[in-house]
Chains A and B, each alone.
Chain A
Amino acid sequence: MSELTKLTIAQARDKMAKGEFTAVELTEAHIKAMEAKRDLGAYIVETPDLAREQAKASDLRRQAGQAGTLEGIPLGIKDLFCTKGVQTTAASRILEGFKPQYESTVSGKLLDAGSIMLGKLNLDEFAMGSSNMTSYYGKVTNPWKSKSDAAKQLVPGGSSGGSAAAVAARIAMGATGTDTGGSIRQPAAFCGITGIKPTYGRCSRWGIVAFASSLDQAGPMARDVRDCAIMLGAMAGHDPKDSTSAPMPVPNFEAALTGDIRGLKVGIPKEYRPDGLSDEIQKVWEQGIEWLKEAGATPVEISLPHTKYALPTYYIVAPAEASSNLARYDGVRFGLRVEGSSLDDMYKKTRAAGFGAEVRRRIMIGTYVLSAGYYDAYYSKAQKVRRLIADDFRRAFENVDVILTPTAPSAAFGMDENTDDPVTMWLNDVFTIPTSLAGLPGLSLPAGLNADGLPLGLQLIGRPFDEETVFKVAGVMESAAGFTATPEGV
C-alpha cells in the first residue's frame, strides 16, 4: 500500500499545492490500489484511462494557477450518478450497457472542482438495500474482518456499500453516496468512515437515477469530517434543473470546523433506546455524550414520540415513489429489452428479467399502496404520519442545536445473516430513516470499535440547512474519539 493512498483529501490537497507530488502520481497510486483490491467488488466499472487523462489535465490546470477545491483528488462515483459516456447501471441488469449522454449535476461539479474519477462504485440495485447484496454485478465485501472469525465475510452496508468499502480500503480518497433512508450513513458506520446526507435540496438530484424523489439526496463519504466538508462544498448548490434544489448560498463548510462547541445543546432522544438495543451500541452512545460534555456542550433529553412509526411510513412512501420512478424502465428508450408477443408482453418480460427480487417486491408494494381503493388507507396515511415525524424534529430543535444518536443498531453483519425476511433487513435503518423523512442533515462518524474489532458509528442530526453545526460538532467528536483503526492490509 502506497503512502499516497493513506493521505486524507485535505492532506493531499495541501501537499500538491506545495508541489510535493502531482495529480498523475496520486492517481497512479490509486489506480494500482484499486486493481489490487478487486476482490472487494467495490467498483462495477474502473476508468483508469479516463482518470489518467483527467490527472494530466489537472496538473496543467495547477501549473496555470487554476486549481479547484478538489484539484487532482481521485474519487469514486456511486454508479447511481449518470456519467457522460461511462456506463451507469444503478447496479441493475435493466441498465446494463447504458451510457448516459450527459453528466449528473453533482458529478459534474466534482469534475469542475478538479477531481479525478477512478470509476463507478457498486451499490444495492437501485439503491434499495442495507447490505449491498442485491447488486446484479456482485456483492461488495467489507474490508473489515471480525476478530473472532476472520474467515467470515461481512457486508459493507448499503446502499452505498461500494463507496464505503472503497474509501475504507484506500482505493478512493472519497466517494459520492446517495441516501434515501440511510444509504450513506449506515455503510459509513459499517466501514469505519465518515459520511453526511445533507439537507434535502442541498445537492441537485439532476442526473441521479431516481429511487424515491422526495427522499433521495447525494452526499460525500470520506475518511474524516474535514474531507466530507470539502467535498460537500463542491457538490452542493442550487441547480435550476432540479425544482426541489434549494436556491441558497453554499457556506464554507470547512470553516465551520472551529472546534468550539461550548454552550451548544445536544438532544438525546429517549425513543432511540428500544428494548434489545445492544450494550456495545449503548456504550458508544454514552461515550459520545461524555465527549460532548467534556467539550462544553450540554446534553438534553428530548422526545421524538413518533419514532417507531418512521419505518412503516418509509416503507409506504419510498416504494410508492419507486414504483412511479421505475415505470420508465420499459424496454423502449434505454436499457434492457426482452422481446414479447405484444407491447405489454415486452414490458412485462423486460421488467421481470431486468429487476432483481427486492426491486420487484418494492415496485409491487408501491403499486398496491397507490392503487384505487387503497391510496387513502396506505399512501395518504403515511404522508400524514410523515408530517408528525417531521413535526417531532421541528419541536425538538426549538430547544437543542443538534441531536446525537447511534447510526445503526449493530456493527457490520455477516453476508449470510438477515436475509430471510425483508422486514428484518429493513430494521438496519431504524435510526436513519426518521431523519430522511424529515429531510434533515445527518452525519455518521466512526466512534470506536466493538469487542470484535468492528467499527461503530454515531449519528449527528442538524436543523434544515445547518450542516455547519453538524460539521462543527462532528469535528469535536472526531478529535475526542481519535479513531485511527484501519481494516487489515491498509
Chain B
Amino acid sequence: MSLDKAAVRAIAELARIEVRDEELDHLAGELSGILHFVEQLAEVNTDGVPPMSSVADLTLPMRADVVTDGGQFAAVLANAPDGVVEDHGGFFTVPKVVE
C-alpha cells in the first residue's frame, strides 16, 4: 500500500497531529516505505491462528468494586497547564467548546 498526500492528511487528522502541507510528500514516502516493509507478513499462512494480544498467561484479576483512593485534587491538578486548584474544588481548563 502506498499512501498519497490525502491519506497522510487523513491519518494525521485521526492522530490529532498538525502536519504542514510541505511535509506531506516526505511523510507519504516514509510511511509508504514502512508499510511496504511490514506487508511481507502477507506471505505467512495464519489460517486458524488466533491473534495474540498478550503473552501474559493470566486471567485478569478481579477486585472488589470499592473506593480505595480519592480526595487528591491538588495532586491530580499539579501538572495541568492552566489548571485551577483553589476554585470550585479544582478543575482542568480547555479552550471554549460551546458557543
Contact = CB atoms under 8 A, between A and B. Distances in A.
Interface in B1-51: 3, 8, 11-12, 14-19, 27, 30-31, 33-35, 37-42, 44, 46, 49-51
A438 B79 contact: no
B55 A200 contact: yes
A363 B95 contact: no
Interface stretch (A71-79, A174-182, A332-340): A332-340
A348 B18 contact: yes
B51 A348 contact: no
B52 A387 contact: yes
Interface string A97-121: 1110110000000000000000000
B67 interface: no
A411 interface: no
Contact of B15 (A97, A363, A385, A390): A363
Contacts of B27: 361, 364
A343 interface: yes
Contacts of A336: 81
Nearest to A369: B38
A355 B81 CA distance: 17
Contacts of A98: 79
A149 interface: no
A381 to B, nearest CB: 5
Contact of A335 (B17, B49, B79): B79
Given A343-B97, A368-B11, A363 B17 contact: yes
Contacts of A313: 38, 41
A384 B49 contact: yes
Contact of A364 (B12, B40, B49, B83): B12
Interface string A367-396: 111010000001011111111101000000
A312 B11 contact: no
Given A332-B94, A387-B50, A423 B63 contact: no
A72 B33 CA distance: 50
20 contacts: A240-B61, A244-B54, A309-B40, A312-B39, A312-B41, A323-B15, A337-B81, A352-B17, A352-B19, A355-B17, A361-B30, A364-B17, A367-B11, A367-B14, A367-B15, A381-B42, A381-B46, A385-B44, A386-B51, A439-B56
Interface of A: 97-99, 101-102, 200-201, 214, 240, 243-244, 246-247, 306, 309, 311-313, 315-316, 323, 327, 330-337, 339-349, 351-352, 355, 360-361, 363-365, 367-369, 371, 378, 380-388, 390, 421-423, 437-439, 464
Given A361-B31, A365-B31, 11 more contacts: A97-B79, A200-B55, A240-B61, A246-B58, A313-B38, A316-B38, A331-B81, A341-B95, A352-B19, A380-B51, A384-B52
